[in-house]
Structure 1
C-alpha cells in the first residue's frame, strides 16, 4: 500500500518497543526521561530495543531539557557511540538564545552521523521564523523529517500552520516529510491526511495509563486502523 501513513511511537524500553510494533507502528523514537521531554537513551537500552524489534529506530540526541544544545562535545560523543552500537537513524534539534537554529551544534552532530537519516524535532515550533529555519537546514545531509505540531501549544493551535506547510512540499526547505506530533488526537487525522500529511507521531496517546505505564498494543492498533481507514 503505497500511501500507507507512517506511524512513529515513542519507546522508553524493549517492552514498549514490542508492544508498539505489535500494534502496527512503523518506526520508534527512542528516548529516556520524559519529564525532560525526552533525552538520549543508554546504549544498553538501545541494544535491548534493537534486539527486540525489527522496525526502524530513531534515537534522540539530547542531553538536557529545553532546546539549547548544552555541551556539544557530549552530544557528539553520544552520537558516535550510538553509531558504533548500530544506530542508523536519529532525532535532534537545537536553537540559540534568540530561537534561531543553532547551526554550529546541528552541523557538528550531523557530520558525526555520516549521512544517516534524521528528524529535526519540535524545536521548529519554538522558532520565530520557521521558513528561515528550514532554509538554513535545507542542504544538510540526511534530514528527511520535521516533527512538528505547528505551534508550541500543540496541534490544535498549530493546525493552520501544518495545513499550509503541507502544501509547500515543492518549495526549497520543504522537501523533508512533515511528521505531525504534539497533542495529536485521532480527530485531527482526517484534515491532516486530506492536506497530504503522511506521517504521525504519538507518545502519551499510546499509553492509556500515562507515562508511568507501558505502551499499549491496542492503543497503537487504534491509531494504525484510523490511519489505514
Structure 2
C-alpha cells in the first residue's frame, strides 16, 4: 500500500514545491515556526484547485488550545472561510484546562465544517488518557489524528503510535507526525502506516536589512522537494522482516 505523505506549508513557494515533489495532501498554514496558524483567505484561495487535497489549519494564535468564546467565534468564521475558499478539509483541536479534548467546542467547530475532511491536530498529544481521547475523536467524527504518540517526535513515540493504531482498528487513521524524514523513519517502519505528516523542510539562512530590521528571522526553514522525494523513496522500501 502506498503511504500518503501530507506536507505542511506556509508559503506559495512551499506549496508549489511540495506538489512538484509528490505530496499527497497539503496542510496549509501560516507561521509554521510556531506550529502553524490559520492561513489567510488569500492563501487558501490561491491553493484551491492545486491538484491535491488541501486542508487548512484552524488555529487563531500560538500557545495552548484552551479557547475563549471570542477565539471560538473566530475559528467558526475561519472554517466557513476555508469551506468557501474551496478547501477539502480542516485541521482542528481544542483542549480543556486539564488537557482532555474539549468535545463540546470540537462539536461546535465540526458542525461548521459542512462535510469537509477532519483532522484532529496535536492537541491530542497533550491528553492525559490517550485511549479515551481516541474513542472521543472517533465519536466526534474525525477522519484522522495527527500525533507523535505524545512524544517530542514520532520516532520517540513509536510504541504508543503502535498501540493507538491497534486500538483504532481502521475506524480512524492514526497519522504520525513530528520530525519525520527519511533519516528518522526506521522506528516507524514496522507500523501499519497509511499516512504520515512531515514538513520536508531545510534550514534557510537569511541576512541583510530584512533581518536587521526584524522583518525576518536569521534562521528559518523552507520546503525542500529533495527531502520529500527521499521520504517517498524510504516509505516505498519494504520493511525489514
Give the aligned partner of residue 204 of structure 2. 209
- Counterpart CA distance in 2 for 1:83 and 1:146 is 20
Give the length in aligned residue pairs: 221
The correspondence of residues 37-56 of structure 1 with structure 2, limited to 5 A, is 37-51=35-49, 53-56=50-53
Give the aligned partner of residue 235 of structure 2. 227
Shift in Å, 1:166: 2.2
Shift in Å, 1:188: 4.2
The correspondence of residues 83-98 of structure 1 with structure 2, limited to 5 A, is 83-98=83-98
- Counterpart CA distance in 2 for 1:217 and 1:138 is 33
The structure 1 segments of at least 4 consecutive aligned residues displaced by more than 4 Å after TM superposition are none
Give the aligned partner of residue 31 of structure 1. 29
TM-score under structure 1 normalisation? 0.89
Pair 1:23–1:110, CA change in 2 (3 A): same
Q: What RMSD over aligned residues (CA atoms) do the two structures have, in Å?
A: 1.8
Unaligned runs of at least 5 residues, structure 1: none
- Counterpart CA distance in 2 for 1:118 and 1:193 is 25
Please say if residues 5 and 200 of structure 1, whose CA atoms lie closer than 8 Å, have aligned partners that are also in contact.
yes
Give the aligned partner of residue 154 of structure 2. 155
Structure 1 position 197 matched with structure 2 position 205: no
After superposition, the C-alpha distances for 1:133-192 in whole angstroms (9 at most, x for unaligned) are 122232223x1111111124222431210122222332xxx6211111112242443442
Higher radius of gyration, 1 or 2: 2
TM-score under structure 2 normalisation? 0.85
- Which secondary structure does the structure 2 equivalent of 1:157 belong to? coil
- Which secondary structure does the structure 2 equivalent of 1:139 belong to? helix
- Which secondary structure does the structure 1 equivalent of 2:145 belong to? strand
Pair 1:61–1:83, CA change in 2 (3 A): same
Which is further off, 26-35 or 210-219?
A: 210-219
- Counterpart CA distance in 2 for 1:186 and 1:218 is 11
Shift in Å, 1:35: 3.5
Please say if residues 9 and 206 of structure 1, whose CA atoms lie closer than 8 Å, have aligned partners that are also in contact.
no
- Which secondary structure does the structure 1 equivalent of 2:97 belong to? coil
Structure 1 position 64 matched with structure 2 position 64: no
After superposition, the C-alpha distances for 1:42-73 in whole angstroms (9 at most, x for unaligned) are 0101111225x211111001112122234111
Give the aligned partner of residue 182 of structure 2. 186
